[in-house]
Structure 1
């Protein structure tokens, strides 16, 4: 054979999709692994014409699963963000939308034994150290993808996957506010640098002369805005102790505006070189935490909840997303106990994906 076959599931997780694979079926060293994932996705072409990517960042994501050695977790979830065109792979972040498919995929792969009715899969996100419990619908001990749950950005309805995130503060930088400040000013733009589930740089839309209600396409076409965003993001990465982030998707960028649809606030999330068509699950947690934390750029956008847990509704380009945050406010800021969301997932295909043997000859 001139190609190497690798078993995979092709799944939609939340409002993203990509291949889910057993880590044991892939190269051990990260350099070879990156080349394999580039070949699988077809990175290097705007349409990913020589791979199974979809030509946008939400469809060039990869989940790699294995049984966990952690005493709490059932499954280790190792995530990779593959670039569409630049032949780059970033192993630093995690992805909460792709995470929505990890529980179902782990059961489908035989990594977790299902129960009759529902199965709770405890997941360790190895990229960030976060712990997540996923409740998967498993009637008759079989994963069900049929149900009445609808999430904005995905057509139709599916079975719910309930996610509860723990240990999300400071996963990448070690602290809630990695610069030590609730607000910083970079290039004349007031920002909050925060690390909850995903390190982010957050600003108000009007700081960039935007309304905050622009569509994803309108923002993607605004080259001048992205040039300013990236300049601020690069300097913020240094201030956050992340070094040179010019080739990393972290930190991500977010914008706030007052609610226009009855939610808590309007938000836009950047990946970071494109606007997310909906909202990232990890980004939603960080943005919600920003809304709850006194002194940030979000202060005054929404009334502060009197008690915990609090339901935060973020308005995004395709609708809304709800995050339920269980927290304590302390003298040092916010102590987040957990964040809960309900997403959906669906298995789209299963079989082997092929890469040239010149890239990897297999194990």
Structure 2
């Protein structure tokens, strides 16, 4: 039989996903995940689901009112691993997070507060908080505006995202190996987690310029095998265990900026080169740039002042990150701009 499940679909940042109320899904995780797979699509084409046959369009948000005094809503991110009939709830997704505030308003989970509404989101994947500020002029949410982000067409109303103390949210420490720099298979790497576990590597150390197209990097089997060998070895060192079937850590090649930014990147999620860069991945890379003795030294251009505004270049543009440090140099807040738009709402039918 077919079961009808209420949903909304949002473009969040440069990703797209299905948003569900937790109360509309099974409470048991394994059963919930099977329903999500049925809704998005189990096989590579996702022909029998609503996914887009790509990691950036095979994402899900599960949202509920929070019982925490410091949060309005709880958010669980679920990545459907395309073609593998499984999900991964290890990482966060800052792009899908950008749609959580609008979804909470559309679903009636929280009231509008004025011309702007701030939604405090507790991220269940990492046990961290993020404040989202949404445009609600005249007491209604709007998606119209002049904010533009690379990786998404047109302009929209801005969604301001302030991540609060996310260092070590997945791995337990900003530098989970205890080192600013490690040597893996003879290759210097910086393993960092400021909201997203990332392994930062100088592209030249893997025989690349760092300016190659995504297709060129993805289709280079020899290069990808070398990159995956490093990823599998750093997984346990980053307290992630066996990462064979995980989408983290993300692997990011870096090179000097080309277009007026502070660092150029090519990121893999985990085996396909990302057309852009993930929100929290950009935060982690930007943080690596300001750490003394990381692999970014001599490659990244570091701005003055505090907070520091860093532009992370990627294949389809750039991503600006504002990092605020305390007196000891620790990053205590990461701010950035996203946009989101409601695409559809209704019921998805799944076979049970």
Shift of 1:212: 0.7
Q: Identify the match of residue 320 of structure 1 among 301, 318, 325.
A: 318
Deviations 1:9-30 (A, max 9, x none): 0110000001001011101111
Aligned to 1:39: 38
C-alpha distance in 1, partners of 2:321/2:284? Answer: 10
- Contact 2:160/2:337 (8 A) holds in 1: yes
Query: Where does 1:64-103 land on structure 2 (aligned, <5 Å)?
Result: 64-103=62-101
- Contact 1:233/1:251 (8 A) holds in 2: yes
C-alpha distance in 2, partners of 1:241/1:320? Answer: 30
Shift of 1:43: 2.2
Aligned to 1:211: 209
C-alpha distance in 2, partners of 1:195/1:147? Answer: 32
Say whether 1:306 aligns with 2:287.
no
Return the TM-score normalized by structure 2.
Answer: 0.98
C-alpha distance in 2, partners of 1:181/1:200? Answer: 14
Say whether 1:351 aligns with 2:351.
no
Deviations 1:21-59 (A, max 9, x none): 101110111111111111111121x22101000011000
Say whether 1:21 aligns with 2:24.
no
Structure 1 runs (4+) greater than 3 angstroms displaced: 303-306
Shift of 1:311: 0.4
C-alpha distance in 2, partners of 1:111/1:80? Answer: 20
Deviations 1:303-347 (A, max 9, x none): 4343210000011000011001001363xxx51110111110000
- Contact 2:81/2:87 (8 A) holds in 1: yes
C-alpha distance in 1, partners of 2:323/2:49? Answer: 38
Query: Where does 1:322-337 land on structure 2 (aligned, <5 Å)?
Result: 322-328=320-326, 330=328, 334-337=329-332
RMSD value, Cα: 1.1
C-alpha distance in 1, partners of 2:184/2:3? Answer: 48
- Contact 1:178/1:193 (8 A) holds in 2: yes
Aligned to 1:198: 196
C-alpha distance in 2, partners of 1:278/1:305? Answer: 22
Aligned to 1:360: none
Return the TM-score normalized by structure 1.
Answer: 0.95
Q: Identify the match of residue 270 of structure 1 among 268, 271, 277.
A: 268
- Contact 2:303/2:310 (8 A) holds in 1: no
C-alpha distance in 2, partners of 1:137/1:169? Answer: 28
C-alpha distance in 2, partners of 1:112/1:80? Answer: 22
Query: Where does 1:23-172 land on structure 2 (aligned, <5 Å)?
Result: 23-44=22-43, 46-172=44-170
Deviations 1:260-294 (A, max 9, x none): 11110101111111111111001000000000111
C-alpha distance in 1, partners of 2:317/2:51? Answer: 25
Q: Identify the match of residue 242 of structure 2 among 233, 241, 244.
A: 244
- Contact 2:263/2:301 (8 A) holds in 1: no
- Contact 1:291/1:298 (8 A) holds in 2: yes
1:38 alignment partner, SS class: helix
Aligned to 1:227: 225
